[in-house]
Amino acid sequence: MSGHFILVNIDTHELNSGKLVGGTWSAKAEHASVGWNQASRAVLTQALNGQPIGNRSGLPPHRYLSFALSSTTPDKVRTYLRGVEWASRLVRPNSTGLGLTALSPKAQTAWATGDRHLALIEQYNHGTVTMEIYYFDSLEMYLP
């Protein structure tokens, strides 16, 4: 699995705000068996810097925050995504092997013009928008 975007860090307030409008937090950390070590930290750094990593298998533990269009409050979610502060911290590194999930055409156009909020909304309108997150409250993602 991979996200549409990487949000390197999320804090408790940001996560709880997202969950209140219908966001879902993945039940377990992906790549928990890899753990946080010198090698996995190096793979994440390379990926975030746009360097090739081969594949995702060496990435450290991470979780996902997702918003699915099937939620019962789509207007609330759109309003939330339109103004969410963490949108400015989203990244989509061009790292071979990172394999982020492709954006919808409208989300890709918004991303290419630098409109992160609109990219979030357009991806949500397409069905689901997912952020891949590696740090929680500035701490390495804990294991499941």
Is position 139 within any domain?
no
Is position 13 within any domain?
yes
Is position 125 within any domain?
yes
Report d(CA 62, CA 103) in Å as an integer: 20
Residue 138 has a pLDDT of: 96
User: What are the structure tokens assigned to 111, written together?
Assistant: 């991303």
Is position 35 within any domain?
yes
- CA-to-CA separations, 127 to 4, 8, 122, in angstroms, rounded: 12, 23, 9
Residue 1 has a pLDDT of: 81
Residue 95 has a pLDDT of: 93
Is position 100 within any domain?
yes
Is position 56 within any domain?
yes
Which tens digit of pLDDT belongs to each residue from 53-111? 999 999 999 999 999 997 678 999 999 999 999 999 999 999 999 999 999 999 999 99
Residue 73 has a pLDDT of: 80
Question: What's the total number of domains in the chain?
Answer: 1
8: Cα separation from own chain's centroid: 8
Kindly tell me if the per-residue pLDDT of 143 is higher than 80: no
Task: Assign 3-class secondary structure to 50-67.
Answer: CCCCCCHHHCCCEEEEEE
User: What are the structure tokens assigned to 52, written together?
Assistant: 């090739």
Could you tell me the pLDDT band of residue 144, with boundaries at 50, 70 and 90?
A: low
Is position 142 within any domain?
no
pTM above 0.75, yes or no: yes
Structural domain boundaries enclosing 71: 5-133
Is position 144 within any domain?
no
Residue 117 has a pLDDT of: 97
